[in-house]
Amino acid sequence: MTWLVAENWESKPMGERFQALLDRPGIVKAPGAHNAMAGLLAKAAGFDCLYVSGAAVTAAMALPDLGVIQLNELCDTVRQIHRATQLPLIVDGDTGYGEVLNVMRTIRELEDAGAAAIQMEDQILPKKCGHLNDKLLASPEEMARKVAAARKARRHLRIIARTDAVQSEGLEAGLARARLYAEAGADLVFADGIKTPEEFRRFSSECGVPFMANMTEFGRTPYYTAQQFQEFGCKVVIWPVSSLRVAAKAMESMYSELAEKGTLIDKLEEMQTRAQLYDTIGYHSFEELDDSVAATVVPDDIRTAGPRNT
C-alpha cells in the first residue's frame, strides 16, 4: 500500500482520530519518531500514535533544542511522517513560534501538514528542555492567551498545554497554571520534569483535563513503565527522543568500526537488509503503480567477504 493512491488515505481528520484514542480505555502510548522511517518502524511495531519532538527534530539537524528551529522546518518533518504513516501525530510546537497571531498560524500550518495535536509550553525564548535548569517562564496569563488563541484557530487539532513551572515555582504553582490552561481551552495538559507518583497523581486528578506524561531518558523523571503511568492516572505517555538516541548510538558505532577496519562485514547482523528496507517503505507497491517499471528482484543476501552489491 502506498500513499500515492487516493483510496489509501484516511479521510477522518487527524485530531478526531487522536480524540478517538483518548476516548478508549487505557493509556495512549506515543513513542517519538524523528523522521518518516522511524515512524514506519514504530507503526510496524503496532503503535497507533506517534510523537514528533522538537528536541529530536533539531538534534537530527545538528541544532540545540533552544527554540532555533523554524516553523517551516517542523512542518516539513511532520508532513513527511504523516505521509508515510498516516497515524495521529502529537507535535511539539515549542512556544507556538510567537505570540497570539503566530500561534494561530502555527495551528493552521500544523493541521495542513497532518498533525493531530500540538503541544505548547509556557516558556519564553530561548526555551530549554523541560528537564534542564533555569528556564525562562511566561506569565500564566500570557500562556493562557496563547491557548485560547490556539483553540480559536483550530479546526480539529487537539491542544496540549505544557507547564515548566514546577521546578522553579513549585507543585502548587504548576497545578494552578495547568488548571488555568485547561480553562483557557487546552484539551490536555502536561507538566514536564516532575518525578514522583504523587506528583503525577495530583496533576492527573486535579488539572481538569487528561494529563500527558513524558518518559524521556537521562532526565529528572525516574524510569516508569506505561502501565505505571496509567496507574498514576495519566492518559498519554511519550518517549520523545528515544528513536534518535538509539539511531545515533548505532551510527556512531558503525562509523567508528568503518574508520578502524575499512569494512562493515562484521556489522551486517545489526543492519536492516535490503529486502527488509524495501518491505518497510513499500518499495514494490510504488513499482506496481507504473507498468513501465520492471519488478525489482532483490539480490541474494551474501554473507561472505568480498565485493558486494550496493
What's the domain count of the chain? 1
The CA distance from 222 to 208, in Å, is: 25
Residue 156 included in any domain: yes
> Does residue 228 form part of some domain?
yes
CA 127/CA 68 separation, integer angstroms: 9
What pLDDT was estimated at residue 307? 52
Mean pLDDT of the residues in the chain: 93
Average pLDDT of the residues in 200-223: 95
Q: Is the CB of residue 188 less than 8 Å from the CB of residue 214?
A: no
Listed in sequence order, the DSSP H helices in 61-165 are 71-85, 100-113, 140-153
User: Residues 118, 16: contact at Cβ < 8 Å?
Assistant: no
Q: What is the pTM of this model?
A: 0.93
Is 50 exceeded by the pLDDT of residue 305? no
User: Strands 117-121, 28-31: parallel, antiparallel or unpaired by DSSP?
Assistant: unpaired
Does residue 188 fall inside a structural domain? yes
pLDDT reported for residue 136: 86
Classify residue 309 by burial, with Cβ atoms within 10 Å: 0-12, 13-18, 19+.
Answer: exposed
What pLDDT shows up at residue 293? 86
pLDDT at 304: 54
Q: What whole-number distance in Å separates Cα of residue 53 and Cα of residue 93?
A: 9
Q: How confident is the model at residue 175 (pLDDT cuts 50, 70, 90)?
A: very high
In a domain, 262, yes or no: no
In a domain, 175, yes or no: yes
Looking at the domain assignment, is residue 250 inside a domain?
Answer: no
8 A C-beta contact, residue 18 and residue 90: yes
How confident is the model at residue 94, as a pLDDT? 94
Evaluate whether 39 touches 53 at the Cβ level (below 8 Å): no
Q: What CATH number corresponds to the domain at position 153?
A: 3.20.20.60
Host domain of residue 154: 6-240
> Hey, which residues does 31 pair with through a beta bridge?
239
Taking only the tens place, the pLDDT of each residue in 127-146 is 777 677 767 899 999 999 99
Residue 106 domain-assigned (yes or no): yes
Answer whether residue 20 is part of any domain: yes
Using a pLDDT cut of 90, give the percent of the chain over it: 81
Model pLDDT for residues 50-101, shown as the tens digit of each residue:
999 999 999 999 999 898 999 999 999 999 999 999 999 999 999 999 999 9
